[in-house]
A and B are shown apart, each in its own frame.
Chain A
Amino acid sequence: MSAAIVPTGLSTERKRRSLAAWTSDQLDLIVTPVLALILLVLLITVWSYSTFDPTTERILEPSQLARQLWQQLYVAFFSTVIVVAVAIPIGILVTRENAPRIKDTLVSFLGLGQAIPAYGLIVLFFVWLGQGAWTVIFALATFALLPVLRNTIVGLEQVDSSVIEAGKGMGMRGVQRLTKIELPLAVPVIMAGIRTATVINVGMATLAFLIGGGGLGETINAGLKLNRPTAIFIGAVLVALVALVFDFAGGLAQRYLRPKGV
């Protein structure tokens, strides 16, 4: 074991630190499933033990819920894919040594974008692109761009400059330094950004119904309009459940994509 070789002071210190890290890691992966489980139990209980009037029954028609769920995931998935495909390359470009110094401007500009409520953004995109799920997808992609871009920039910039210097000094080309040193070391931070964006997108996809993009927002909206609290509750719980599942998946990815040794 390593403990035999390293001085004891160091090894206990390391053990203590890794124990703390371990607990916070575990907490991250335990709290979410527990919450999700509680919601699921609640959902099933409410579903099984309440008697639905015909209107509620019509709103909560299972095949309809399934379609809405599917739409919700569709919107969330593609908006996240677009965010990743756009934000990471931009983050990489603006952090290159000889890149024009635009990253601070860019981040504050996108910060403004995020200050507009997602609702407003969807309406703006509706004016521009018209009805449909893809309008929502583009609006959400814009909305969730910032966390991924910011984390990509921060993740790349927090890489110890002496590590990059050493790589350069050994004759690694720019692309090699990027793919073999910088990106792997930035993965944890970038993944955290993607996780945030995913959860934002899953939640905000609820607004898709506003411009005919479907999603679980339809159920909540119908419940509100027809004054059916059970329907509102079930719609909201379903949204929360999906968000928690995505958050959990993001947590797993963050953990297992983290490079060894760091």
Chain B
Amino acid sequence: MTEPLIDLQAVTKVYPGVKEPAVKALNLAVEPGEILVLVGPSGCGKSTTLRLINRMIEPTSGRIIYEGQDVTKGDPNELRRRMGYVIQQIGLFPHRTIAENIATVPRMLKWPKKKIKERVDELLEVVSMDPSIYRDRYPSELSGGQAQRVGVARALGADPDVLLMDEPFGAIDPITRDRLQNEFLRLQADLKKTIVFVTHDIDEAVKMGDRIAILRDQSEIAQLDRPEVILTDPADEFVENFLGSGAILKTLTLRRVRDIDLDPMVTLKQPVHRSQALSEMNEANTTSAVLLDEQDRPLRWLDERALNSSSSALERSGRPITVQLQPEDTLQDALSAMLQTSSGMSVVVDGRGRYLGCCTIESLAGLLLTQGNETSSP
């Protein structure tokens, strides 16, 4: 195992005037390049734990090791400039432009002006915002989603190795949140930052985390593992309850369509004649087929009865294909796509829309069942 980038050693925090510690003798190691999610019920000490890492809160006892060095003492401001920090309320400076906001840490580090300007534009691009439009705007002119993008860009300002994120998408509407999560995962695939991510939402934890630490009161770790292990093999009743009833369904978000064995359907490529279509389906001993256009893009579901009963052109018989999946889609997407079709089946296409195969409820169920068996027999 690699050396952890951040290592909390027996860290305890007792708030003044409070008897019970908010964090009690916590040991937590964060590996370089991973997204470690801290998830747990409200008030269990997630935020306190996160804020101990950049010493927004000073530990009562214990040590914090960062990059192999004890940072429990020394200047906390120096430490914070080496770690990006994103909070739910974002906290953009309302009197500073977007560019000035993002430049906060580089300025404190006295980067040359030109380098700062380039960095600001680069970061705006990274978070999918056009620098020429947004650079000189003020935070009051942004939507919630845009503001949180800028919040992330600002945290990345001086290219820190670590990002600490406290419910960063918590105050954003579900649709935008989903988009921001996806964008963030794409961005992280390039940046490979070490991220500690706090949320109270187990679904978000499963989606974002390389590893998940499920915390109970006083930041005690109930289970720390990869999401698929936690979902299929919860350590105790607390974890089980926290996961809720749909744990196995949540594993659907962890697997992709590419993991399924696709069904080879009979395909008919345009231009094709009705009689030719019927004979090919007869030959394959099937009653249905997928009609493709000249570029192999799926057009319609054809079935024998429709072909026999009407004389309309092929491209008007059967049913149009409206839902398509791609190999990168999660099994959850696949399930909801298939439930929208009456046949319980969906076509899978590649990035250019070309036909790859079909995915059925049966093959998905098969995958889930084998997975269940694997984990129940160690």
Contact = CB atoms under 8 A, between A and B. Distances in A.
B87 A166 contact: yes
A169 B140 contact: no
A185 B96 CA distance: 10
B317 interface: no
A217 B187 CA distance: 72
B85 interface: yes
Interface in B59-91: 76-81, 85, 87, 89-91
Contacts of A262: 94-95, 138, 140
Interface stretch (A45-53, A114-122, A157-165, A190-198): A157-165
B157 to A, nearest CB: 8
A102 interface: no
A42 B180 CA distance: 65
A245 B199 CA distance: 56
A33 interface: no
A255 interface: no
Given A166-B87, A170-B85, A181 B79 contact: no
B41 to A, nearest CB: 23
Contacts of A184: 95
Contacts of A6: 141, 143
A44 interface: no
B89 to A, nearest CB: 3
B92 A166 contact: yes
B93 A181 contact: yes
B177 to A, nearest CB: 17
Interface in A158-192: 160, 162-173, 176, 181, 184-185
Contacts of B164: 169
A170 B95 contact: no
A83 B85 CA distance: 39
A261 B108 contact: no
Given A165-B87, A166-B92, A185-B94, A260 B79 contact: no
A261 B81 contact: no
B85 A166 contact: yes
Interface residues of B, number: 34
B132 to A, nearest CB: 12
Nearest to A11: B141
Nearest to A160: B91
B133 A171 contact: no
Interface range on chain A (Cβ under 8 Å from partner): 20 to 34
B93 to A, nearest CB: 6
A261 B91 contact: no
A172 B92 contact: no
B104 interface: yes
A10 interface: yes
A163 B157 CA distance: 17
Nearest to A2: B141
Contacts of B326: none
Contact of B77 (A164, A173, A181, A185): A173
B56 interface: yes
A27 interface: no
A169 B54 contact: yes
A130 interface: no
Given A166-B85, A261-B138, A172 B108 contact: yes
Contacts of B93: 163, 166-167, 181
Contact of B92 (A7, A163, A171): A163
B253 interface: no
A169 B56 contact: yes
B358 interface: no
A98 to B, nearest CB: 12
Nearest to A165: B91
Interface in B80-123: 80-81, 85, 87, 89-97, 104-105, 108
Nearest to B81: A171
Contacts of A165: 56, 87, 89, 91
Of A7, A166, A260, most B-chain CB atoms within 10 Å: A166
A238 B342 CA distance: 88
A5 B133 contact: yes
Contacts of B56: 165, 168-169
Nearest to A169: B85
A89 interface: no
Nearest to B91: A166
Closest 4 CB pairs of A and B: A166-B91, A261-B138, A162-B89, A169-B85
Interface of A: 2, 5-7, 10, 160, 162-173, 176, 181, 184-185, 259-262
Interface of B: 54, 56, 76-81, 85, 87, 89-97, 104-105, 108, 133, 137-141, 143, 151, 154-155, 157, 164
Given A166-B85, A169-B85, 5 more contacts: A160-B89, A163-B92, A163-B93, A171-B77, A261-B140
